[in-house]
Structure 1
Amino acid sequence: MNKKLSVIVICITPFDEKGGIDETAFRAQLRRLRDAGVSVFVGGSGSSEGYTLTVEERDRLLAIAVEELKGKVPVRADGVESHTTAEMVAFLRRVERFKLDAVRIMPLDIGHGAKPTMAEMERYNATAIESTSSPIVLTSHQAVGYVLPLDLVERLVNRYSSIVGINYGGSDITYLAELIKRVGARIEVHCAGPFNSVPTLALGGNGFMGGEGNFSPTLVASVISAWQAKDMERLRESYGKLMGLAAIINRFGGSTLRGLKPMLNAFGLPGGALREPRLPISSADLDEMIKAVLALKLPDMPPLRR
């Protein structure tokens, strides 16, 4: 297949001060991502605060995302880690009507730190895939305490033509290399988070995903464009700044958005409020975060409005 390189941004969900979805801010954020040419995941458990959303709210977010993005940049539904197969099947069937470019199957979390067996992983993923006509993105993410065995990934890709991609969230480069070797010619392979973005591209993968692009979509897109242009100096600069931004965001809450949302607001960007139980960082920490970000001199840095 033609190797299409891309970065996928897991879009934030802006909330107003009363806790409702701020649709105006959400549309504004989607347009920022669209204008940068990045792909978008909506409704995920991390940067989208997906666990705080009702099914009706998630439906509304997806409807808006389709209005703003469909046909312009790839738009995909991002689920949350399910405790049962039935939960994932219900999610897939409900979002099918939005005709998204893809839907992500998040990993099975059977609770209390327990890990599913390979047979249970296979049954979960196979049942979910067979329940929908939507294009599917698999997830192999260490955040749930395990990754999908490579043999299982290969079996699923061999069996189901509806699988269009897989996201790998982990630090094992040998796993990533073997994953790309086995299935990278047939489906897209993205690493979760920007840290392995360059190794993923070097190994023949398609790119990376994460929440950093919510603040600087131009920066994350520039890593891909520099690689495509074989401009190693621009790649070094873009990747270095991205690592700096990621380190700052992770220091102040990471994908919990405790720091990222307040920082977006400080720069006049669509951020909005957090939903409990998440709470924003202190004013002192926000000052420190802003100072560190300003020092990066990012390409699309807006003026500070705080």
Structure 2
Amino acid sequence: MTDNSKRPYRVGVCTITPFDEKGRLDEPGIENLVERIASQGASLNIGTASPGEGFALSLDETERFFDTVVRTAAGRVPICAMGVEPRNYGQLQPIVRLAEQAKLDTMQLYTVDPGHAMKLTDGELERYFGALLDDMTIPAAISTHAFNGLVPLGVVARLLDHYPNISVIHCTSEVNYLHQLLDVVDGRCEVLVGGPMQALSVHALGGHGFLCSEGSLTPVLCGEMQRAMRSGDHTAADDCYKKLISVFSLNVWPGGSVRFLKTAMRILGIPGGYTRPPFETLDSSATESLVRAMRGLALPEWQDQLHG
């Protein structure tokens, strides 16, 4: 098992991207969201395809988004630009350059999606990642996920051998792959699992934390989870985990988390809870159901908004 004692346990919040009611980038909403998360010590993972609606952002908007996050939280918590799944490395390069320009801590590299159910060979994947990694001036995070293409373990090993600028791997929640990946990584970089489902098991296996979208709604809970794990308070960590999985389980609407998240934001009065087409928030019936379910959790950080 990999020794994870040299790196602190970390919770990274894959944020939504705040838009106003006219669909414009909501800069005060960004500042509010970022401050709520950063004040709890959780990391920021920004601009992802889901839940961040990254495909809906122009490059100019992406630049403004990055700059606003940096202005609000730089030096306080780690900030990672997540990017979106590209067809080829040239589609992701402009976002990499913006992340470098903004002096973000890390830039995630999604697995390439060539479209039409095509899959790259191992050699093609290595060339894709290498073309990006060769020119990067900030550390890289490699994404390997069942949703958009697991990176074969042999490819991961060779990338780590050749590119010391890989600082973290964002990994699928499938525990068999995660277990094998940690053996391949062997302490050479952080491994954060995608989603809260394996938040406890990733640490037991030698990993370093998890990513979740629920932190846009529950930054206090995410901060409590991180502090409990870092202090070794397993009773508190177990309690936080149960609550976080309860929040995760609120989303019973398939096809992406952004509809649920932004509806819940509007219920809680958090600014920026508007989507861009083609996405929509939940309808009135689903919203009423969500309000009842959220009240049933009785989370302290929601009490004033839900019962005030």
Q: Normalising by the residue count of structure 2, what TM-score does the alignment of the two structures yield? A: 0.94
How far does the alpha carbon of each residue in 1:146-204 deviate from its partner, in whole angstroms, 9 at most, with x for none? 30111111111111111100001242x12211211221412010001111111111111
Distance 1:9 1:81 in 2: 19
1:67 to 51, 58, 71: 71
User: How many aligned positions are there?
Assistant: 303
Q: Is the counterpart of residue 221 in structure 1 residue 223 in structure 2?
A: yes
Residue aligning to 1:303: 304
- The Cα shift of 1:224 comes to 2.5
1:219·1:299 contact (CA, 8 Å) conserved in 2? no
Contact 1:14 1:26 in 2 (8 A): yes
Kept after mapping to 1: 8 A contact 2:8/2:230: no
Q: How far did 1:210 drift? A: 1.6
| Aligned partner of residue 274 in structure 1, secondary structure | coil
Instruction: Choose from 95, 100, 106 the match for 2:104.
Output: 100
Q: Which residue of the partner structure matches residue 193 of structure 1?
A: 195
Aligned counterparts of 2:28 and 2:207: Cα–Cα separation in 1: 35
Maintained 8 Å contact 1:13/1:48: yes
Q: Which of 82-91 and 70-79 deviates more?
A: 82-91
1:49 pairs with 43, 53, 56, which one? 53
Aligned residue for 2:196, secondary structure, equals: coil
Do the aligned residues in 1 keep the contact of 2:268 with 2:305 (CA within 8 Å)? yes
TM-score (norm 1): 0.94
Mapped to 2, the partners of 1:302 and 1:154 lie a distance apart of 47
Corresponding residue number in structure 2 for 1:242: 244
- The answer (yes or no) to whether the contact 1:254–1:260 under 8 Å persists in 2 is no
Distance 1:76 1:133 in 2: 14
Q: Does 1:212 align with 2:199?
A: no
Q: Distance in 1 between matches of 2:199 and 2:108?
A: 20
Shift in alpha-carbon separation, 1:302–1:25, aligned structure 2, 3 A:
farther
Alignment partner of 1:279 is 2:280: yes
Distance 1:202 1:78 in 2: 26
- Is the CA contact (8 Å cut-off) linking 2:43 and 2:77 kept in structure 1? yes
In 1, Cα distance between equivalents of 2:29 and 2:202: 33
Report SS of the residue matched to 1:189: strand
In the other structure, the counterpart of 1:13 is 17
User: Structure 2 matches for 1:82-97, cutoff 5 A?
Assistant: 82-97=86-101
Taking the aligned partners of 1:75 and 1:140, their CA distance within structure 2 comes to 19
Deviations 1:64-97 (A, max 9, x none): 0110111011111110000012112232123311
Matches within 5 A, 1:104-123: 104-123=108-127
Give unmatched runs, 5+ long, in structure 1: none
- Aligned-pair CA distance for 1:226: 2.0
Q: 1:289 to 1:116 in 2, by over 3 A?
A: same
Contact 2:9–2:229 (Cα < 8 Å) also in 1:
no
Runs of 4+ in 1 over 3 A off after TM superposition: 252-256
Displacement of 1:255: 4.0
- How has the CA–CA distance of structure 1 residues 302 and 51 changed in structure 2, closer, same or farther, with 3 Å as cutoff? farther
Q: CA RMSD in A?
A: 1.6
**In the alignment, which of 182, 202, 213 is matched to residue 180 of structure 1?**
182
Report if the CA contact (8 A) 1:93-1:131 is conserved: no
Question: Which residue does 1:265 correspond to in 2?
Answer: 266
Aligned partner of 1:16: which letter? Answer: D
Change (3 A) 1:228 1:94: closer
In structure 1, how many angstroms separate the alpha carbons of the residues matched to 2:141 and 2:173? 17
Q: Which moved more, 1:295-304 or 1:37-46?
A: 295-304
The one-letter code sitting in structure 1 at the alignment partner of 2:123 is: A
Give 1:169's aligned residue.
Answer: 172
Counterpart amino acid of residue 75 in structure 2: G
Cα shift at 1:18: 1.2
Residue among 33, 38, 47 paired with 1:34: 38
| Alpha-carbon distance between aligned partners in 1 of 2:66 and 2:239, rounded to the nearest angstrom | 34
Give me the identity figure in percent. Answer: 30
- Deviation, structure 1 residue 222: 2.2
Q: Which runs of 5+ in 2 are unaligned?
A: none
Letter in 1 for 2:77: V
Q: 1:223 to 1:176 in 2, by over 3 A?
A: same
The Cα of 1:302 is off from its aligned counterpart by 4.5
